Amino acid sequence: MRFVFKTRYDQDIALARHCGDRFWYSLLMLALVAAPWLLPEYWLAQLSFVFIYAIVAVGLMLLAGFTGQFSIGHAAFMGIGAYAEAYLAARGWPLAASLACAMALAAAAGVVVGLPALRVKGMYLAIATLSFGFIVEEALARWESVTGGNAGKSVPAPQVFGYALDSTESFYFLCLVCVVGSTLVVLNLLRAPTGRAFVAIRDSEVSAQSMGIQLARYKSLSFAISAALAGLGGALYGHKMQFISPEQFSLVQSIDLVLMVVIGGLGSIHGAFFGAIFLIGMPQLISLGKDYLPAAIGQATGLQSVVYGAVLIAFVMLEPMGLYGRWLKVRTWLELYPFYRRGMFKRQKSFQKSERLK
């Protein structure tokens, strides 16, 4: 186990806690940059999907995991970003401008959705976002002059300084740049006063307010940033799929996004990435495992959703901290071997906390 000896206050908020962190993350970056030369094209495409979902997950994590505001309509922001990008890219806008525009539009929508958050919380907010998701999906399907309606819309390859990023490798690098950039932005935000305000709001709105945090401002800000990242993810998603239609941004997608952050582990940026890997990797695993199952089970259409449901229930019941919590335990076990105790991460007995106001 490593004990960090702090000699400067800056170390408290440094992104990397010690040189081990720096070493491993540099190694990871090196591996990701080298990936196009090492991995076959199919896996590269899957990795791009992981990055795209990770961007959305980081945004949703900021909102749900760090500000405590749940959104079951996040696919709507993805949809807004994707359609804005498709519309602008078809008009020949350069990538940077159209991405910025898509993010701004999604952020504006996020502020609008955040408005109910100023008055309601908990389940009411979840249902408000759910309603918003439905309305956006229906609007995308009906506004045919811009979105092409239910027939869908094809998305051209992104243009950067006159070059079309139409190969798997070049698009992979675009996704890599976006995911690293947005993660750094969010990490920086979280160690700044704004991020601390978000966490304070999550832990107790009343005490945050009495510390002088303007709830309305920070909640709207959190919604805006989260929606902008979802819009960025959606724009890249559109380019990757090359074809978008309203049902790709339906409630099922929203639930998948929430599932991603919950299984990854709420309240950690690592969790967002673990969740994205889970969401993309799980269908692959299921299709690999299908061959070993009897045909009646293996070929059934409902298998995937049964497995998703079972995994979700198992995580909530057995590992509420998600994949990241499990990773923490494994790491601690390795670091402390052979002194790990079973109860180290055991939370104190929690009685049923009432969110009903007295």
Partner 1 sequence: MLVLQIIVAGIAQGCVYGLIALGFVLIYKATETVNFAQGDLMMLGAFAGLAGMSVLGWPFWLAALAAVAVMALAGMLIERAVIRPVLGQPQFSIVMLTFGLGYIARGGVTMVPGIGTDTHALAVPYKGSTLDLGAVVVGGEQMVIIGATAALCGGLWLLFRYTRVGIAMQASSQNQLAAYYMGIPVQRLNGLVWALAAAAATVAGLLLAPITFVHANMGFIGLKAFPAAIVGGFGSLPGAIVGGLIIGVVESLSGFFLPEGFKDVMPYVVVLLMLAIKPTGLFGDRARKKV
115 makes contact with partner 1 (CB under 8 A): yes
Distance from C-alpha of 197 to C-alpha of 188, rounded to nearest angstrom: 13
From the list 190, 236, 229, the residue with the least C-alpha distance to 50 is 236
302 makes contact with partner 1 (CB under 8 A): yes
Interface with partner 1 (CB under 8 A), residue from 146, 297, 334, 344: 297
* Pairing between β-strand 163-164 and β-strand 243-244 as defined by DSSP bridges: unpaired
Record the tokens describing residue 316, joined without a space.
């909530």
**Binding residues for partner 1 restricted to 137-166, rule: CB under 8 A:** 138, 141-142
Query: Which listed range, 24-32, 92-100, 122-130, 190-198, lies at the site for partner 1 (CB under 8 A)?
Result: 122-130
Helix axes 322-336, 251-264, angle to 10 degrees: 20
Interface with partner 1 (CB under 8 A), residue from 25, 43, 124, 243: 124
| Beta-bridge partner residues of 244 | 153
Of 116 and 152, CB closest to partner 1: 116
Helices then strands, each counted (H, E), the chain = 16, 4
From the list 92, 103, 228, 106, the residue with the least C-alpha distance to 160 is 92
319 makes contact with partner 1 (CB under 8 A): no
**Binding residues for partner 1 restricted to 204-223, rule: CB under 8 A:** 206, 210
User: Shortest gap between Cβ of 262 and partner 1 (angstroms)?
Assistant: 5
Query: Which listed range, 125-133, 158-166, 222-230, 328-336, lies at the site for partner 1 (CB under 8 A)?
Result: 125-133
Of 150 and 154, CB closest to partner 1: 150
User: Shortest gap between Cβ of 224 and partner 1 (angstroms)?
Assistant: 19
303 makes contact with partner 1 (CB under 8 A): yes
User: Shortest gap between Cβ of 260 and partner 1 (angstroms)?
Assistant: 11
Number of residues that bind partner 1 (CB under 8 A): 55
258 makes contact with partner 1 (CB under 8 A): yes
C-alpha 205: how far from chain center: 24
Residue 136: Cβ-neighbour burial (10 angstroms; 0-12, 13-18, 19+)? buried
8 makes contact with partner 1 (CB under 8 A): no
From the list 223, 227, 199, 314, the residue with the least C-alpha distance to 263 is 314
The residue with tokens 């009495």 is 210
351 makes contact with partner 1 (CB under 8 A): yes
User: Shortest gap between Cβ of 88 and partner 1 (angstroms)?
Assistant: 25
Interface with partner 1 (CB under 8 A), residue from 97, 216, 310, 334: 310
Interface with partner 1 (CB under 8 A), residue from 51, 66, 83, 308: 308
Distance from C-alpha of 358 to C-alpha of 354, rounded to nearest angstrom: 9
Interface with partner 1 (CB under 8 A), residue from 31, 135, 151, 285: 135
Distance from C-alpha of 13 to C-alpha of 8, rounded to nearest angstrom: 10
From the list 51, 105, 63, the residue with the least C-alpha distance to 82 is 105
CB atoms within 10 A of CB 300: 12
126 makes contact with partner 1 (CB under 8 A): yes
Interface with partner 1 (CB under 8 A), residue from 36, 94, 116, 156: 116
User: Shortest gap between Cβ of 349 and partner 1 (angstroms)?
Assistant: 8
In degrees and rounded to multiples of 5, residue 163 shows phi and psi of -90, 140
- Alpha helix stretches (DSSP H) within 291-321: 295-298, 303-318
309 makes contact with partner 1 (CB under 8 A): yes
Q: Which residues bind partner 1 (CB under 8 A)?
A: 64, 70, 115-116, 119-120, 122-124, 126-128, 130-132, 134-135, 138, 141-142, 206, 210, 251, 255, 258-259, 262, 296-297, 300-313, 316-317, 320, 350-358
